[in-house]
Amino acid sequence: MDDPYHVLGISPNASEDEIKKAFKAMAKKYHPDLNPGDKKAEEKFKEVNEAYRILMNKGGSSSQQESSAQGFNFNDFSDIFNFRGFEDIFRNFGFSSKGEDLRYDLDITLEDVFNPAVKTVKIKHRVVCPVCSGSGAKEKETCPKCHGTGKIRRNIRQFGSNVVFTTNCDKCGGSGFIVKKKCDNCNGTGFVIKEENISIPIKRGVKEGDYTILQGKGEPSVNGENGDLYVVFHIRKSDTYSISGNNLKTRLYLDLRDLLNGIELDLPTPWGSERVIIDAGETGPLILKGKGLYGKNGQRGDLVVDLVIDLPKKIGTKELNEIEKALGERKEPHISAN
Q: How far is the CB of 290 from Zn ion (least distance, A)?
A: 56
Q: How far is the CB of 150 from Zn ion (least distance, A)?
A: 6
Closer to Zn ion at the Cβ: 119 or 145?
145
Among candidates 293, 211, 61, 2, which has minimal Cα distance to 12? 2
Q: How far is the CB of 102 from Zn ion (least distance, A)?
A: 21
Mask: binding to Zn ion, 183-202, rule CB under 5 A, as x and -? x-xx----------------
The set of residues, in sequence order, having a beta carbon less than 8 Å from that of 92 and lying 6+ positions away, is none
Closer to Zn ion at the Cβ: 80 or 183?
183
Total interface residues for Zn ion by CB under 5 A: 12
Q: How far is the CB of 69 from Zn ion (least distance, A)?
A: 15
CA–CA separation, 21 and 60 (whole Å) = 19
Closer to Zn ion at the Cβ: 131 or 235?
131
179 is a site residue for Zn ion (CB under 5 A)? no
Among candidates 107, 106, 113, 105, which has minimal Cα distance to 241? 113
128 is a site residue for Zn ion (CB under 5 A)? no
Q: How far is the CB of 269 from Zn ion (least distance, A)?
A: 55
The dihedral built from the CA positions of residue 215, 216, 221 and 225, taken in this order, carries a sign that is positive
Q: Which of 98, 145, 207, 249 binds Zn ion (CB under 5 A)?
A: 145
Q: How far is the CB of 142 from Zn ion (least distance, A)?
A: 8
Q: How far is the CB of 147 from Zn ion (least distance, A)?
A: 8
Q: How far is the CB of 179 from Zn ion (least distance, A)?
A: 10
Q: How far is the CB of 184 from Zn ion (least distance, A)?
A: 8
Closer to Zn ion at the Cβ: 139 or 324?
139
Candidate segments 95-103, 119-127, 182-190, 226-234, binder of Zn ion by CB under 5 A: 182-190
Candidate segments 84-92, 101-109, 124-132, 312-320, binder of Zn ion by CB under 5 A: 124-132
What is the rounded (10 degree) CA torsion for 191, 193, 199, 200? 90
51 is a site residue for Zn ion (CB under 5 A)? no
113 is a site residue for Zn ion (CB under 5 A)? no
Closer to Zn ion at the Cβ: 10 or 169?
169
169 is a site residue for Zn ion (CB under 5 A)? yes
143 is a site residue for Zn ion (CB under 5 A)? yes
The set of residues, in sequence order, having a beta carbon less than 8 Å from that of 82 and lying 6+ positions away, is 63, 64, 66, 67, 69, 100, 102, 103, 219
Closer to Zn ion at the Cβ: 102 or 143?
143
171 is a site residue for Zn ion (CB under 5 A)? yes
132 is a site residue for Zn ion (CB under 5 A)? yes
Mask: binding to Zn ion, 146-165, rule CB under 5 A, as x and -? x-------------------
**Binding site residues, Zn ion, CB under 5 A:** 129, 131-132, 143, 145-146, 169, 171-172, 183, 185-186
